Chains A and B, each alone.
Chain A
Amino acid sequence: MSVRAMGMMKTNTETHMKIAIASGKGGTGKTTVAVNLALSIPDAQLIDCDVEEPNCNLFLNKELERIAESKITVPNIDEELCTHCGKCSEMCRFNAIATLPEKVILFPTLCHSCGGCILACPEYAISGKEKITGIISRSSNKKDHPMLYEGVLNIGESMASPVITELKRSIEPGIPTIIDSPPGTGCPVMTTLEDTDHCILVTEPTPFGLHDLKLAVKMVKIMNIPFGVIINRSEQENCIIDEYCDQENIEVLMRIPLNKRIAELYSDGIPFVEEMPEWKERFTNLFERIVNKKELA
């Protein structure tokens, strides 16, 4: 392959690269990494998929505009047609419909919108009704860097995944994309990581951090996503995380030291690359390394 062709390919991968920042344990520094990384890549967009607790914009202060809503379909029962036969409740495996002798009670937060009750009703008494469960917003200034997309799950709603799916549907294709994931290893995280090219797992050098990192590693392996680790609040090399990564042949991509200045900037909502420019370069290099690795693979 000619150097020129390789160059073109690089641009191509770079523009399409979707990198998710995940962790297992909460509070290890996902948002810190996502925001600082996005700020260090020209033309990147940042997607805040932690829809239960979206925090990226606390560090960016963008003016946002609402661009979409996430909706789920819940049953709407026509009481006149309903004979209280109970077939809908029988069909519903999520216990979202209870049929009493003279009444049907709905539990919309348990509903998974599978449409089973609508199919099962012999009287055609059930139709689907849209319910808004979350809001999708985006930087209103198109010249913003990074462009920020954010989803927020409405208070009292239980299912984060439909909001994340709608959010991911709204983003711009063809530009480098940094995705801030929710913590854990459950459905919202898997919905976030689906179709991403690379995952950065952020952890801290404590037994809790190590334990939850192992769970997150299992998850990305099952999902077949290439990944590396960032150790946040690092106090020394050769910590318990290094030992584990060595054993498992996992690349430690970066170490962010336990540093009072970084912690203070974080607590005030200031991305540390803005005050410590040497870090911007490190994040830019990190991004390039991930892109190059993807090309080699």
Chain B
Amino acid sequence: MKELVVISGKGGTGKTTITASFAAMAQNAVIADCDVDAPNLHLVLRPRIVETNPFYGMDKAEICLDRCIKCYKCQTACKFNAIDDDLIVNQHKCEGCGVCEYVCKASAINMIKSRSGDVHSSITDHGTMVHAELEIGEEASGKLVSAVKERTRSIALENKAELIITDGPPGTGCPVLATITGASLALIVTEPSLSGMHDLERVLQVTEHFDIPSIVCINKYDINEKNAGKIEEFCHKREIEVAGKLPYDPSPNMAMREETTVVEYRKNVLSEGIKALWERVVSELEKQ
């Protein structure tokens, strides 16, 4: 079983648009949305939820003030400044480490299991999809990404799927690291702006650091062909394949409004480009 992750560094370069189209073209794949902070894939793949599992993030400390002897050892020991002078735990700051519970001599502190989101397994027109909802203000996106991935893998094994296609989050931090762990191939979607180029460079360093084979797609290349050329040159020097160059086109927004993918919406230069990109990705996956 192979795992393709679509990431970008910079947000808004077209990860979800491309992932959704791949999902529509793939045979026997399971789809995962690992951008749990701002998930969008469900808006175009119209999943029908068949199973929801609660997601428990880190436990949260709760101080029983009746038992508390006001020694403030917990407040001193908490490295996250989550306990205020009235000995109330700030739920957003508490990272659930349990140090306060450990130092409390009065056994006044309990670590409470807290549901911080849901992991959904759904049916779409293009196969099974796993996606999640995180309660706002919950600080466990990396852990939730891992939960989504775990669920996806077990469904893929059950279904004897050959491929997992994952829509990743932007950035280079915790959720991205959780997303790319164990991936066979990363497709990095960039755009020909200075920001797109800078962020491509950083995210490539991340995939190299973790030894994930990577290929690049330049989306909206015709917005600035000079910069697109620079990206190609840069990739060539780094021996990274530019697997596709897609033109700017308004059809992703139109397809999105119709709740469908670009390749299903209309045959045009963009949809043909995405198809060609998909073929390149498939042959690259076969090599891995």
Contact = CB atoms under 8 A, between A and B. Distances in A.
Interface of A: 24-28, 31, 51-53, 55, 58-59, 91, 93-94, 109, 112-116, 119-120, 153, 155-160, 182-190, 204, 206-208, 211-212, 215, 218-219, 222-223, 263-264, 266-269
B223 A264 contact: yes
Interface of B: 8-13, 16, 37-38, 40, 43, 58-59, 77, 79-80, 92, 95-99, 102-103, 134, 136-137, 139, 141-142, 169-177, 191-196, 198-199, 202, 205-206, 209-210, 223-224, 227, 253, 256-257, 259
The 3 closest A-B pairs by CB, nearest first: A26-B11, A27-B12, A184-B37
B99 A115 contact: yes
Contact of A26 (B38, B43, B193, B194): B38
B223 A120 contact: no
Nearest to A220: B136
A156 B209 contact: yes
Contact of B136 (A26, A182, A222): A222
B11 A158 contact: no
Contacts of B227: 267-268
Given A155-B202, A206-B253, 6 more contacts: A26-B12, A26-B170, A109-B177, A115-B77, A187-B141, A264-B224
B139 A187 contact: yes
Nearest to B103: A119
Given A158-B174, A187-B141, A93 B97 contact: yes
A109 B173 CA distance: 10
B258 to A, nearest CB: 10
B171 A58 contact: no
16 contacts: A24-B38, A26-B170, A27-B13, A52-B176, A53-B171, A55-B10, A59-B194, A114-B80, A119-B102, A183-B37, A185-B136, A188-B173, A190-B137, A204-B12, A207-B257, A211-B40
Contacts of B102: 91, 116, 119-120
Given A52-B171, A58-B198, A207-B257, A28 B12 contact: yes
Given A27-B10, A28-B12, A264-B224, A155 B141 contact: no
B206 A208 contact: no
B169 to A, nearest CB: 7
Contact of A53 (B40, B199, B209): B199
A218 B138 CA distance: 12
